[in-house]
């Protein structure tokens, strides 16, 4: 199956299973979305949502987190992985937003990626889900599936993002990256499909017999 045909089949399957793609991280604003995405590193969305449901009603602006200070932020998020590092980032980025951006989340990759704790993937999620800008955030799920589906060589997440952007129409990116995440969690899981059992894998590679060993992000 050539690349164009493969892309058509993947889009067809994903659009049928996931016609709607709600944002998995609960948030109240672009700022709380940014915080939730930062917290989600090495942590499940469900755990982040469980923690933030008691935080955001009281603390939902940069000024709130500046006033709280790092130690109090740590206590609020202590059930989340690497909470000390994340608390420091939240405190520092809140200060930077107030000092340089009038307390608002910047609407461009350059300024977002200058914020403490914010890398390209986090910036891409905020640009996509917060501002509606066409972006293709690549997490471990997407990186793994793109390899299983023969869409990238799997060198790293940067290369995977470039490859996917070349293959799929720009208008599909914002919805598609969420569809792939949902599909990876439900059907093409890390320790189940291995490239030979789910609908997309069997459609793209009907004759594949050996399991696919993917390169880590």
Count helices and strands (H / E) in the chain: 12, 0
* Span 172-208, pLDDT tens digits: 999 999 999 999 999 999 888 989 999 999 999 999 9
User: Are 3-21+136-204 and 30-130 the same fold in CATH?
Assistant: no
Reported as a pLDDT band with limits 50, 70 and 90, residue 215 is confident
Q: How far is CA 22 from CA 101, 134, 140, 154, 169, in A?
A: 28, 16, 19, 27, 20
User: In the chain, where are the structural domains located?
Assistant: 3-21+136-204, 30-130
Report the CATH number of the 30-130 domain.
Answer: 1.10.340.30
Beta strands in 56-183 (DSSP E): none
* Span 34-78, pLDDT tens digits: 999 999 998 999 999 999 999 999 999 999 999 999 999 999 999
The answer to pTM > 0.85 is: yes
User: Of the residues 139, 166, 199, 207, which is catalytic?
Assistant: 139
User: Of the residues 6, 86, 121, 163, which is catalytic?
Assistant: 121
Catalytic annotation on 175? no
With tokens 């200070």, the residue in question is: 69
**Kind and range of the H or E run holding 34:** helix 30-39
pLDDT higher than 80, residue 217: no
CA 29 to chain centre: 17
Catalytic annotation on 111? no
Burial class (CB in 10 A: 0-12, 13-18, 19+), 29: middle
Mean pLDDT of 20-32: 97
- Phi first, then psi: what are they for 4, rounded to 5°? -60, -45
Specify the higher pLDDT residue, 105 or 140: 105
Query: Domain 3-21+136-204 falls in which CATH fold?
Result: Endonuclease Iii, domain 2 (1.10.1670)
Question: Of 180, 166, 165, which is closest to residue 134 (Cα–Cα)?
Answer: 165
């Amino acid at each position: 199956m050539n690349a164009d045909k493969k892309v058509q089949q993947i889009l067809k399957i994903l659009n049928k299973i996931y016609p709607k793609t709600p944002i998995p991280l609960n948030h109240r604003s672009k700022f709380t979305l940014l915080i939730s995405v930062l917290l989600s590193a090495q942590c499940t969305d469900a755990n982040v949502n469980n923690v933030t449901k008691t935080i955001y009603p009281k603390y939902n602006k940069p000024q709130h987190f500046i006033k709280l200070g790092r130690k109090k932020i740590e206590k609020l998020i202590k059930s989340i992985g690497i909470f000390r590092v994340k608390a420091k980032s939240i405190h520092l980025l809140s200060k930077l937003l107030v000092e340089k951006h009038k307390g608002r989340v910047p609407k461009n990759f350059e300024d977002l990626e200058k914020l403490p704790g914010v890398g390209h993937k986090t910036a891409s999620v905020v640009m996509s889900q917060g501002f509606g800008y066409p972006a293709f955030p690549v997490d471990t799920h997407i990186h793994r599936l793109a390899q299983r589906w023969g869409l990238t060589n799997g060198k790293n997440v940067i290369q995977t993002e470039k490859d996917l952007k070349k293959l799929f129409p720009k208008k599909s990116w914002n919805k598609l990256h969420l569809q792939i995440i949902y599909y990876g969690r439900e059907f093409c899981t890390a320790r189940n499909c291995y490239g030979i059992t789910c609908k997309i894998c069997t459609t793209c590679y009907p004759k594949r017999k050996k399991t696919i060993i993917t390169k880590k992000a």
